[in-house]
Structure 1
Amino acid sequence: MTLLFWLISRLPLSWLHATGGTLGLLAARLPGRYGTRLTAHLRQAYPRADAATLAEAARATGRMILEMPYFWCRRNPPGRMYGFAGPLWPELDRLMAQGRGLIILVPHLGCFEVLPQAFALKHPVTALYKPPHQPWLRAWILKMRTRHNLAMAPAEPRGVRMLLKALKRGEAVGILPDQVPPGGEGAWAPFFGRPAYTMTLVQRLQQHTGSPIAAIFAERLPRGAGFRGHMQVIEEPLPADPAAAAAVLNQAIEDLVAAAPTQYLWGYNRYKQPRGAEAPPAPAPLPN
């Protein structure tokens, strides 16, 4: 697998985007739940989405997947890959200078693999990830994604402790806020008008540390030309109520998605009910 990833990573990013776009469109058009889910979720958020928009969203998913070998295997990508963060640094440096650490939310939007690498060029960051069940695969992912100033924390109690320690040291942590958590570790909150089980981890980390929160994504530019950075800073502390806090996070993600709607991972099963979670709230009755 390492050899395959290395071979793929040698190709120019523009080639990977072109190939990934074709494969992503093909996958979405094959019979099965993936294409159906992508269409349903995108039209849930943007009811006027036409066939061309749906096709571009499918292509974006393929590009996202083929970016993984590129950024996992290349230790020094071309400078333009990281230059996207330039406009964000004054605000990021301001938040880091407060000395309370920084919680960075990186949703399934644009190229999320480039973000921790770019941040680690200036500041240490610990990124949360969902470890696979196979020990060899977990070890391989750690080897591929760990960098200088970039540590990986598994989404389990040990990893949460790593995040908390990093924040208390005044460092940054990176979290995928729209990943469905296990039952009992989330709260139902609106996401594009539909209840989505949303992690409460971000709220708990902020309660313990007082860390500010920034939601960031790297918009993918055409033909492998690089990325454009976008950021939403959540200035106020999250509400004490877990569901209200989750709603604030989801709104921040919605605001980012609006900048590049086709680059969100619409095929992800965002609205599922994980085992052990209470049922989602019933929709409010329509007015008479």
Structure 2
Amino acid sequence: MSKKQQYTPGEFYWSFLLPKYWGIWIAIVFLMLLAILPWSIQHRLATWLGNLAFNKLKSRRKTTIRNLEVCFPEWTTEQVQENSRQVFIDMMIGVFETLNAWYSPKWFKNRVTIEGLEHITNAQAEGKGVLLLGTHSTLLDAGGYICAQYFDPDVVYRPQNNPLLDMLIYRCRATIYANQIDHDDMRGLIRHLKEGHAIWYSPDQDFGLKQGIMAPFFGTPAATVTAHRRLLKISKAVAVPLYFYRHGDINDPRYHILIEPAVEPMPSEDELDDATRVNKIIENQLRIAPTQYMWFHRRFKTRPEGYDKIY
């Protein structure tokens, strides 16, 4: 198959058996074995790997520390360092939680609670689609799995560069999400919203100002995407904040899904006001479990003329 040829998401190709893909197949078998380990061992491995990543990934560590310094100025230097390290540990814990969701989902039985499900069901009962405003949580697809125990979520995803890895992840996610929508497939996204689907959408990263506007995030101006305003306007869907997080004893964790009332009015006539409101929603969510967020992304990357550089 030529490099220019397109791969169909989730479809197996015989070329995936070529030697260049053997490393991925071996890694997948290894990950499946990790998924059947007791949680006590998974947690210890995740902690070790998280500390290793914090020490070795210097650029990501620096970005995480700087993000936390900007967003939590009330924290001491020691608290910033401690929580930055915990971000990496939570990221690795999230990898194991995702493996459990894909290969050993029974592990989550009797561990999940939900609050505010009526905000989704009421909107859908009125024939409206629901755009779930979420975040890039370290829980990864484990968050999608626990949500799927209560309603049928669709997800917006970015395809992997490696076609075999993309196929494997797509198939694993197919056991969780009702539909997977390519981030470039705006027509498909709008169609699913018009059909009354609930779609998990995360407007919390910096994609520059071609797709957004500068709006305060934890009190600091940040490039904030505004595409959801157009999606909501065209589809007549409602925007409903969604957040899920781990809590309780790490040796016997529990998971909570928080669904808040629809944001009204959204979209309004003021683009900046809408972006500010969405950022504030995300802020409030992240304060619940600050280290369960991917702070190693450069949230304040875009700095137009007149704005101080963050990194």
Task: Please give the range of the TM-score, normalised by the shorter of the 2 chains.
Answer: 0.7 to 0.9
For residues 279 and 39 of structure 2, the distance between their equivalents in structure 1, rounded to whole angstroms, comes to: 30
How far apart are the structure 2 equivalents of 1:78 and 1:4? Answer: 21
Identity percentage of aligned residues: 23
Rate the CA distance shift 1:282–1:127 in 2: closer, same or farther, 3 A: same
Determine if contact 1:13/1:67 at 8 Å carries over to the other structure. no
Query: What are the ranges of 5 or more consecutive residues in structure 1 without an aligned counterpart?
Result: 274-278
Q: Which amino acid aligns with 2:134?
A: V
- Structure 2 residue corresponding to 1:186, chosen from 187, 212, 222: 212
Letter in 1 for 2:73: P
Contact 1:9-1:69 at 8 Å conserved across structures: yes
1:163-220 per-position Cα deviation (integer Å, ceiling 9, x unaligned) = 2111111111111221333662222222122232222221111111222222222221
Equivalent residue, structure 2, for 1:140: 168
Whether 2:227 is the aligned partner of 1:201: answer yes
Q: Which amino acid aligns with 2:171?
A: K
Question: How far apart are the structure 1 equivalents of 2:297 and 2:176?
Answer: 30
Structure 1 residues 249 and 56: alpha-carbon distance in aligned structure 2, compared to 1, 3 A threshold: same
1:9 to 26, 35, 41: 35
Give the counterpart letter for 2:125 in structure 1. A
Q: For 1:81-100, list aligned pairs within 5 A.
A: 81=111, 83-85=112-114, 87-100=115-128
After the TM superposition, which residues 221-232 of structure 1 pair with which residues of structure 2 at under 5 Å, given as runs?
221=247, 222-232=250-260
* Change in 2 beyond 3 A, CA 1:71/1:17: same
From the CA coordinates, give the structure whose radius of gyration is larger. Answer: 2
Q: Is the 8 A contact 1:188 1:195 kept in 2?
A: yes
Letter in 2 for 1:257: L
User: Does 2:295 correspond to 1:266?
Assistant: yes
TM-score, with length taken from structure 2:
0.78
Letter in 1 for 2:254: G
Q: 1:181 to 1:154 in 2, by over 3 A?
A: farther
CA contact (8 A) 1:110 1:218 kept: no
How much has 1:118 moved relative to structure 2? Answer: 3.3
- The alpha carbon displacement at 1:21 in A equals 2.5
Tell me, yes or no, if structure 1 residue 67 matches structure 2 residue 91. Answer: no
Query: SS at 2:83's partner residue?
Result: helix
**Is contact 1:117-1:150 (8 Å) kept?**
no
Of 55, 58, 68, the residue aligned with 1:42 is 68
Q: Does 220-229 or 170-179 show the bigger shift? A: 220-229
Q: CA RMSD in A?
A: 2.5
Q: What's the CA shift string for 1:122-145, capped at 9, x where partnerless?
A: 543320011122332222221111
Q: For residue 84 of structure 1, what is the amino acid of its counterpart?
A: T
Other structure's SS at 2:214 match: strand
Q: Deviations over 1:210-252 (max 9, x none)?
A: 2222222222122242212223332322333434322221111
Q: Give the 3-state SS of the residue equivalent to 1:263 in structure 2.
A: coil
- The match for 1:282 is 306
TM-score of the superposed pair, with normalisation by structure 1: 0.84
CA offsets, 1:1-36, max 9 Å, x none? 431231121123443233223321232233621111
1:257 to 265, 286, 308: 286
Task: Give the aligned length.
Answer: 275
Structure 2 unaligned blocks of 5 or more: 1-26
Specify the alignment match of 2:109 in structure 1: 79
What is the CA distance between 1:254 and its match in structure 2? 0.2
Instruction: Kindly indicate whether residue 139 of structure 2 is the aligned counterpart of residue 111 of structure 1.
Output: yes
